[in-house]
């Protein structure tokens, strides 16, 4: 094929791709509710101010995934700053502490990551951890943790501080690996003879969101799917650590957040690329869309845990789904009370 024709075709393809990106616009509330499987009654309930939840089709047996929607009496644009700053963490009753993380693991923010004196029992569990289902760590991380804590007595008053310092080094290394390699940088968890792979879990749930993001938010999709290589000035990225109450125990979490928005929408993704225990990974995709008098806010929450697989997996999945929807509704109710 002549070179000038090839160049013309390439220019046409680039122009066509740019035009498609420019023409893409956020979904309507009805389009989104249809995609998520909400009923006509759910639509009516949302318009009347109720919080509505629904199950979303799972891709794997170890996945829990549900959606929730609510009305807030503020436009999307006013939700954007607080979303970027992570103010919603303050409204989540399950989050015990949180903070922003700078890209450098030498930053002062890391020093707050760990366990307090009141969390001595958790520090003792980590001090004596040799593997099993109590924590999410790789074989190498378990060995490194034990080597660092070998000379420390379980009765030492400094145990929470020493355990936190050793555990923090593991989290720092995971953070750096994720910054450099994205999903490919996430090490598996070893629990006895079972290997859990949060990278594959997050890859699967990212695949679920791909069609939606590429259809309505193509530039955001490129950044979301291309991390860490791709970025865009209109997509704000941030990293946070969370200490979450998980089944009555403090669990440390590393999270990557992406946010974009304008007058017509706010779009948020949150990816928990390290989770301390009980579940292995989590992803949130959230959208705020303008409606009369404010915004309709949607969350799709997906978590993976091997605790719902096995002989009684059907029962466990049902209970887990109901629990997830109830937790989302409780969180949304708290947010509504704060805003109203």
pTM score, whole prediction: 0.90
Which DSSP letter does residue 256 get?
Answer: E
- Distance between CA atoms of residues 191 and 135, nearest Å: 8
Which DSSP letter does residue 114 get?
Answer: S
Q: Which pLDDT score is estimated for 20?
A: 44
Instruction: Work out the end-to-end distance of the chain between its first and last CA atoms, rounded to an integer number of angstroms.
Output: 64
- Distance between CA atoms of residues 111 and 105, nearest Å: 10
DSSP secondary structure string for all residues of 127-192: HT--SSTTS---HHHHHHHHHHHTTS-TT-TTHHHHHHHHHHHHHHHHHHHHHHHGGGGPPPEEET
Alpha helices by DSSP H, 182-231: 198-216, 218-226
- Distance between CA atoms of residues 34 and 84, nearest Å: 27
Q: Which pLDDT score is estimated for 7?
A: 39
Distances (CA, A) of 252 to 21, 170, 268, 319: 38, 12, 21, 24
Q: Which pLDDT score is estimated for 1?
A: 44
Query: Side-chain half-sphere of 221: how many Cα atoms within 13 Å?
Result: 15
Taking Cα atoms as reference points, which of 290, 331, 326, 300 lies closest to residue 72? 290
125 by DSSP, 3-state: which? helix
CATH fold of 29-105+197-339 = Alpha-D-Glucose-1,6-Bisphosphate; Chain A, domain 4 (3.30.530)
Written as tens digits, the pLDDT of the chain (340 aa) is 444 443 343 443 444 444 444 568 999 999 999 999 999 999 999 999 999 999 999 888 899 999 999 999 999 999 999 999 999 999 898 999 999 997 666 678 898 999 999 999 999 999 989 999 999 999 999 999 999 999 999 999 999 999 999 999 999 999 999 999 999 999 999 998 999 999 999 999 999 999 999 999 999 999 999 999 999 999 999 999 999 999 999 999 999 999 999 999 999 999 999 999 999 999 999 999 999 999 999 999 999 998 755 444 554 567 789 999 999 999 999 999 988 7
DSSP secondary structure string for all residues of 241-252: EEEEEETTEEEE
Q: What is the largest CA-CA distance in the chain?
A: 79
Q: Which pLDDT score is estimated for 254?
A: 98
Cβ atoms of residues 113 and 171 within 8 Å: yes
Neighbouring residues of 249: CB distance < 8 A, sequence distance ≥ 6:
122, 277, 278
Taking Cα atoms as reference points, which of 94, 100, 131 lies closest to residue 113? 100
Give the domain ranges of the chain: 29-105+197-339, 115-191
pLDDT digits (tens, 9 = 90+) for 188-201: 999 989 999 999 99
């Amino acid at each position: 094929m002549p070179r000038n024709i090839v160049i013309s075709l390439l220019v046409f393809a680039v122009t066509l791709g740019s035009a498609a990106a420019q023409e893409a616009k956020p979904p309507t509330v009805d389009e989104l509710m249809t995609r998520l499987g909400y009923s006509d009654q759910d639509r009516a309930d949302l318009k009347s101010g109720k919080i509505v939840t629904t199950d979303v089709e799972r891709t794997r047996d170890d996945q829990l995934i549900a959606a929730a929607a609510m009305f807030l009496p503020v436009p999307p644009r006013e939700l954007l700053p607080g979303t970027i700053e992570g103010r919603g963490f303050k409204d989540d009753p399950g989050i015990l502490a949180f903070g922003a993380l700078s890209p450098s693991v030498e930053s002062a923010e890391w020093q707050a990551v760990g366990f307090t004196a009141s969390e001595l029992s958790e520090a003792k569990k980590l001090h004596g951890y040799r593997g099993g289902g109590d924590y999410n760590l790789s074989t190498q991380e378990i060995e490194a943790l034990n080597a660092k804590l070998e000379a420390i007595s379980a009765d030492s008053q400094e145990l929470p501080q020493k355990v936190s310092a050793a555990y923090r080094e593991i989290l720092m290394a995971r953070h750096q690996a994720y910054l450099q390699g994205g999903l490919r940088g996430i090490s598996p968890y070893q629990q006895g003879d079972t290997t859990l792979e949060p990278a594959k879990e997050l890859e699967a749930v990212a695949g679920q969101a791909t069609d939606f993001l590429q259809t309505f938010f193509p530039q955001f999709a490129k950044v979301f799917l291309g991390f860490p290589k791709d970025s865009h000035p209109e997509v704000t990225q941030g990293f946070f650590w969370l200490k979450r109450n998980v089944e009555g125990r403090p669990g440390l979490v590393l999270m990557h957040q992406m946010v974009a928005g304008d007058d017509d929408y706010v779009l948020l993704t949150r990816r928990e690329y390290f989770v301390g225990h009980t579940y292995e990974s989590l992803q949130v995709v959230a959208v705020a869309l303008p409606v009369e008098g404010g915004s309709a806010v949607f969350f799709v929450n997906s978590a993976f845990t091997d605790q719902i697989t096995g002989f009684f997996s059907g029962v466990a999945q049902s209970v887990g789904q109901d629990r997830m929807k109830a937790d989302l509704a409780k969180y949304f109710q708290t947010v509504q009370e704060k805003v109203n």
